[in-house]
């Protein structure tokens, strides 16, 4: 009994001493006296620490410390310049005795972090993982499981747990990025009003809630981007498994519709895999679902993704973003959808089963991209009918004309930018594009069975095929484009069959002089950095055929018959049609700048054959046609004129037709050279020779006339 009393008395005395010691520490010892020592210890580690605020602590019921205004930075370590208005940490004493870091609370208010470089940003991003690894880390920095019963006491492993985490009023200035353009100011992105709240945080696999909110300010954005993230997080330290269940990310940019993203995520550190399930993005009328998985995250990553953008009214979404859609017809952009299966690694990306829906048009196909040298791109798309008038509206035709006119002096780097940019990305790699479209309609043309196949490498494009059915016929083109020099070079081989010149004239509103079915085989070359230069440097040659040609603006048969009537001194035929219907025209064709030359060409009508040469100048919009006519028989055609004079029949009669496109008419054609004078001279001389004059007198008069007429 005495022993028990002695033990109890001893315990009471010990507890009394402990209470006296605690009271002494709390009342007598001022923790602020330790600030110089703490700051010196930090300087010994090449860390600049300034504690401007007060230090305060408590021991019971929990070990707690409160730090006032503090500044932290380092010129040696990747520690950003940081200011803290106040920081408080509270630990569970009983849990510490059980070799666990049981944090009752962490409270940080008014943190201001200034990141000067990416190394500091990486250090800040790694801070949570470093805190989680406080328990123990291996040589590779991997988190290890805690087993208090088996751990050596010298190691003193600790299992981390936080009852409450509260960070508020934080600000993070991101590293500066240089703005493009001369004299541009440095751009700075800032995260403001950051708050992070968590409860019952642990590494033992118990779920705990996390709420993160902040405002993102970027000079490139029209407004502040408000961000909120909520999820139930689970971290299993032993298996290195992290899950985020019922995660929700909400983004709001000014007064625009919010972007809501919901998903579930699992990361397995031991298997080095990541999976994202039940991903759904909602933004106004836009809805997207997806799933993804990845493995070998720390090495040669491999991933698979399924993406499905549901059909949405894109024009409505554009209006919500205050983007002007007045120029877009109401029946356009009312149904836009996309889906694909993606597979990839660090070196390559493969998009299978691509489906793109644009209103009534559907594209399907596949794409492959190699990201590592040598880069490559393979795209294979097949589409139904696409009506560009639906998107250009009534003003589209005028806009196209203005764009063409404006592009005449555009520098080569801008003119060929749509081609040059992908080639620059490919570097020395290779690109292949195969595009097939059932029909493409514009204000000018309707192209059916459009096929485009090309290969690109080292700023060279090989046009393997550009084929289409249009204007009642077909067009097939092959060629090459070389962009390796400042003066791009183009080589094209074109084959046209049964192209309706009437339809072409109506489509392009050119007021063409001739109609018919065009057949053309052409080999052309040009070079230049502007549209004008490409026109001016154009050279080409080939064969041309026009079946059933109809010269609309002038009548060659009328010009011939007028000459015959003048020579024969008969009344000319007066009622002629405005144009001329000829037999097939066959010609050699040459291109030189904006001039088209047919030399020679052959044609005819009825008993009248035609040959000669012709020049069409697209620059001056004029033509110059030499028609050498020859009549076989007495009548030019069934509805033509009768020519009795043998001096005119079976003789070359040249006729020149020359005018501007917009002024061509009956007066455009006239006899060429001195043919009329020659015919009249021959007629006078014949009359004299047929007169009743004696032989000497007749010869004398004929000689005199020939001398006067230079014959």
Higher model confidence: residue 623 or residue 121?
623
Higher pLDDT, 268 or 425: 268
Output phi, psi for 292, to 5 deg. Answer: -150, 150
Share above pLDDT 70 across residues of the chain, in percent, rounded to a whole number? 78
Burial of 654 (0-12, 13-18, 19+ CB in 10 A): middle
Position with higher pLDDT, 670 vs 198: 198
- pTM here? 0.75
Mean pLDDT of 666-688: 63
Cβ contacts of 65-69, under 8 Å, gap ≥ 24: 65/31, 65/89
Nearest to 595 by CA among 619, 562, 573: 619
Q: Which pLDDT tens digit goes with each residue over 229-247?
A: 999 999 998 888 999 999 9
Kindly report which listed range (86-100, 393-407, 519-533, 650-664) carries the lowest average pLDDT score.
393-407
Q: pLDDT category, 701, cuts 50, 70, 90?
A: very low
Q: Which band of pLDDT confidence, cut at 50, 70 and 90, is reported for residue 307?
A: very high
End-to-end CA distance of the chain: 167
Residue 406's pLDDT is: 45
Hey, how many other C-beta atoms are within 10 angstroms of the C-beta on 175? 15
Closest CA to 495 of 471, 521, 469, 517: 521
581-585: average pLDDT: 93
Confidence of residue 690 (pLDDT cuts 50, 70, 90): low
CB neighbours of residue 231 within 10 Å: 22
So what's the pLDDT on residue 177?
67
- The pLDDT, as a whole number, for residue 10 is 47
DSSP 200-220: EEESBS--EEEEEEEEEE-TT
Residue among 60, 58, 214, 240 nearest 145 (CA): 240
- Assess whether pLDDT exceeds 60 at residue 497: yes
- A 10 A CB-CB count for 237 gives 22
Among 34, 165, 202, residue whose Cα is nearest residue 89: 165
**369-399, pLDDT tens digit by residue?**
998 888 899 999 999 999 988 887 665 555 4
- Residue 182 Cα distances to 78, 178, 603, angstroms: 31, 11, 63
Mean pLDDT of 72-101: 81
The highest-confidence range among 101-105, 487-491, 545-549, by mean pLDDT, is 545-549
Q: Decide if pLDDT at 689 tops 60.
A: no
Q: Cβ-count burial of 318 within 10 angstroms (0-12 exposed, 13-18 middle, 19+ buried)?
A: middle
∠ at Cα 171 (170, 177), nearest 5°? 160
CA torsion, points 141, 146, 152, 156, in degrees to nearest 10? Answer: 70
């Amino acid at each position: 009994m005495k022993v028990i009393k002695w033990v109890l008395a001893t315990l009471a005395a010990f507890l009394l001493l402990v209470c006296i010691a605690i009271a002494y520490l709390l009342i007598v010892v001022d923790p602020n006296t330790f600030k110089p020592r703490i700051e010196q210890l930090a300087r010994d580690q090449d860390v600049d620490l300034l504690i401007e605020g007060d230090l305060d602590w408590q021991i019971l019921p929990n070990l707690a410390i409160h730090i006032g205004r503090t500044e932290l930075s380092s010129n040696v370590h990747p520690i950003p310049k940081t200011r803290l208005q106040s920081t408080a940490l509270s630990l569970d004493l009983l849990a510490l005795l059980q070799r666990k870091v049981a944090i009752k609370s962490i409270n940080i208010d008014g943190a201001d972090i200034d990141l000067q470089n990416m190394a500091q940003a990486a250090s800040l991003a790694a801070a949570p993982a470093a805190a989680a690894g406080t328990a123990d880390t291996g040589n590779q920095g991997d988190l290890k499981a805690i087993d208090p019963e088996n751990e050596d006491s010298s190691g003193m492993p600790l299992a981390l747990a936080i009852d409450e985490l509260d960070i508020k009023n934080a600000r993070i200035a991101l590293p500066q990025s240089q703005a493009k353009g001369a004299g541009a100011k440095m751009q700075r992105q800032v995260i403001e009003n950051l708050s992070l709240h968590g409860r019952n945080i642990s590494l033992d696999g118990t779920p705990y809630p996390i709420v993160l909110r902040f405002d993102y300010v970027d000079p490139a954005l029209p407004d502040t981007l408000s961000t909120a993230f909520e999820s139930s997080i689970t971290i299993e330290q032993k298996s290195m498994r992290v899950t985020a269940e019922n995660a929700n990310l909400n983004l709001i940019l000014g007064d625009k519709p919010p972007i809501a993203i919901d998903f579930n995520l699992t990361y397995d550190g031991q298997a080095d895999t990541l999976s994202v399930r039940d991903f759904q993005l909602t933004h106004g009328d836009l809805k997207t679902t997806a799933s993804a998985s990845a493995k070998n995250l720390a090495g040669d990553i491999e991933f698979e993704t399924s993406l499905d953008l549901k059909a949405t009214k894109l024009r409505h979404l554009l209006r919500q973003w205050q983007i002007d859609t007045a120029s877009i017809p109401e029946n356009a952009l009312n149904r836009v959808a996309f889906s694909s299966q993606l597979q990839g690694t660090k070196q390559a990306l493969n998009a299978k089963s691509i489906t793109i829906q644009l209103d009534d048009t559907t594209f399907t196909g596949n794409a492959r991209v190699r990201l590592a040298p040598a880069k490559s791109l393979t795209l294979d798309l097949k589409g139904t009918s696409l009506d560009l008038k639906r998107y250009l509206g009534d003003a589209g035709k005028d806009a196209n004309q203005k764009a063409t006119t404006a592009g005449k002096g555009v520098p080569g780097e801008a003119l060929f930018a749509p081609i040059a940019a992908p080639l620059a990305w490919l570097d020395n790699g290779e690109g292949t594009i195969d595009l097939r479209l059932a029909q493409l309609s514009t204000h000018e043309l309707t192209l059916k069975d459009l096929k485009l196949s090309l290969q690109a490498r080292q700023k060279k494009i090989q046009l393997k095929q550009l084929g289409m059915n249009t204007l009642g016929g077909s067009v097939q083109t092959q060629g090459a484009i070389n962009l390796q020099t400042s003066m791009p070079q183009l080589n094209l081989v074109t084959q046209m069959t049964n192209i309706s010149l009437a339809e072409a004239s109506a489509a392009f509103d050119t007021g063409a002089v001739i109609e018919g079915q065009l057949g053309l085989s052409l080999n052309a070359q040009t070079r230049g950095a502007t549209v004008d230069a490409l026109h001016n440097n154009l050279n080409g040659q080939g064969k041309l055929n026009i079946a059933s040609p109809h010269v609309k603006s002038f009548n060659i048969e009328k010009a011939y018959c007028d000459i015959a009537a003048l020579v024969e001194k008969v009344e000319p035929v007066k009622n002629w049609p405005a144009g001329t219907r000829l037999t097939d025209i066959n010609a050699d064709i040459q291109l030189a700048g904006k001039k088209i030359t047919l030399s020679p060409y052959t044609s005819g009508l009825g008993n009248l054959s035609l040959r000669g040469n012709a020049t069409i100048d697209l620059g001056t919009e004029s033509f110059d046609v030499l028609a050498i006519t020859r009549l076989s028989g007495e009548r030019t055609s069934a509805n033509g004129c009768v020519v009795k004079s043998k001096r005119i029949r079976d003789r070359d009669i040249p006729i020149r037709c020359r005018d501007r496109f917009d002024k061509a008419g009956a007066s455009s054609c006239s006899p060429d050279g001195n043919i009329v004078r020659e015919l009249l001279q021959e007629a006078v001389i014949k009359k004299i020779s047929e007169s009743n004059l004696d032989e000497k007198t007749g010869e004398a008069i004929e000689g005199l006339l020939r001398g006067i007429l230079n014959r």
